[in-house]
Amino acid sequence: MQPALYRILDANLDRAREGLRVIEEWCRFGLEDATLTEQCKDWRQELAHWHESELRAARNTPDDPGTDLTHPQEAVRTSVEQVLQVNFARVEEALRVLEEYGKVYRSEMASAVKQMRYQVYTLESHLLSIQRRQQLESARLYLITSPTDDLLSTVEAALQGGLSLVQYRDKEADDSVRLKNAQKLRQLCREYNALFIVNDRVDLALAVDADGVHLGQDDLPLEWARQMLGQHKIIGRSTHSPEQLEQAIAQGADYVGVGPVYETPTKAGRLAAGLDYVRYAAAHCSIPWYAIGGIDTQNVYEVLTAGADRISVVRAIMQADQPTFATQFFVAQLEQKRRFRAHTTPDPWGET
Average pLDDT, the chain: 92
State the Cα–Cα distance between residues 48 and 69, nearest whole angstrom.
26
Residue by residue, DSSP assigns 98-163 as: HHHHHHHH-HHHHHHHHHHHHHHHHHHHHHHHHHHHHHHHH--EEEE----TTHHHHHHHHHHTT-
- So what's the pLDDT on residue 96? 98
Indicate the DSSP class of residue 322.
Answer: S
Which own/partner contact pairs does 267-271 have at CB distance under 8 Å and 24+ positions apart? 267/293, 270/240
Which own/partner contact pairs does 145-153 have at CB distance under 8 Å and 24+ positions apart? 145/169, 145/170, 145/185, 145/314, 145/318, 146/170, 146/266, 146/314, 146/315, 146/318, 146/319, 147/172, 147/173, 148/318, 151/181, 151/185, 152/181, 152/184, 152/185, 152/188
> Quick one: average pLDDT of 270-294?
96
107 is catalytic: no
277 pLDDT band, cuts 50/70/90, is: very high
Which own/partner contact pairs does 26-33 have at CB distance under 8 Å and 24+ positions apart? 26/80, 26/83, 26/84, 26/127, 27/127, 30/80, 31/127, 31/130, 31/134, 33/130
Decide if pLDDT at 18 tops 50: yes
- So what's the pLDDT on residue 217? 95
Cα 2 to chain centroid, rounded: 44
pLDDT tens readout for residues 308-333 = 999 999 999 999 999 999 999 999 99
**Helix (H, G, I), strand (E, B), or coil: what is residue 312?**
strand
Indicate the DSSP class of residue 271.
Answer: P
> Quick one: average pLDDT of 78-96?
92
59 pLDDT band, cuts 50/70/90, is: confident
Decide if pLDDT at 265 tops 80: no
Decide if pLDDT at 182 tops 60: yes
Question: What domains sit in the chain, N to C, each tagged with a CATH number?
Answer: 2-134 (1.20.1260), 139-341 (3.20.20.70)
Which has more pLDDT, 295 or 3?
295
- So what's the pLDDT on residue 303? 98
212 pLDDT band, cuts 50/70/90, is: very high
DSSP lists the bridge partners of residue 165 as 195
Q: Provide the b/e sequence for 66-82 (b: ≥16 CB within 10 Å).
A: eeeeeeeeeeeeebebe
53 is catalytic: no
Catalytic site residue from 15, 17, 132, 169: 169
> Quick one: average pLDDT of 286-298?
97
Decide if pLDDT at 60 tops 90: no
Q: Does the bond joining 288 to the residue before it have cis omega, within 30 degrees of 0?
A: no
Closest CA to 145 of 315, 9, 349: 315
123 vs 128, 138, 306, CA distance in Å? 8, 23, 40
Decide if pLDDT at 350 tops 60: no
Mean pLDDT is lowest, of 12-21, 65-74, 226-235, for: 65-74
State the Cα–Cα distance between residues 173 and 180, nearest whole angstrom.
11
Whole-model pTM: value is: 0.82
Decide if pLDDT at 156 tops 70: yes
Decide if pLDDT at 273 tops 80: yes
Residue by residue, DSSP assigns 201-252 as: -HHHHHHTT-SEEEE-TTSS-HHHHHHHH-TTSEEEEEE-SHHHHHHHHHTT
Catalytic site residue from 44, 117, 132, 267: 267
78 pLDDT band, cuts 50/70/90, is: confident
Decide if pLDDT at 352 tops 50: no
312 is catalytic: no
Catalytic site residue from 146, 164, 238, 312: 238
Residues 6 or more apart whose CB falls under 8 angstroms from that of 101 comprise 5, 8, 9, 12
Decide if pLDDT at 346 tops 70: no
Decide if pLDDT at 249 tops 50: yes
pLDDT tens readout for residues 102-144 = 999 999 999 999 999 999 999 998 998 898 999 999 999 999 9
**Helix (H, G, I), strand (E, B), or coil: what is residue 258?**
strand
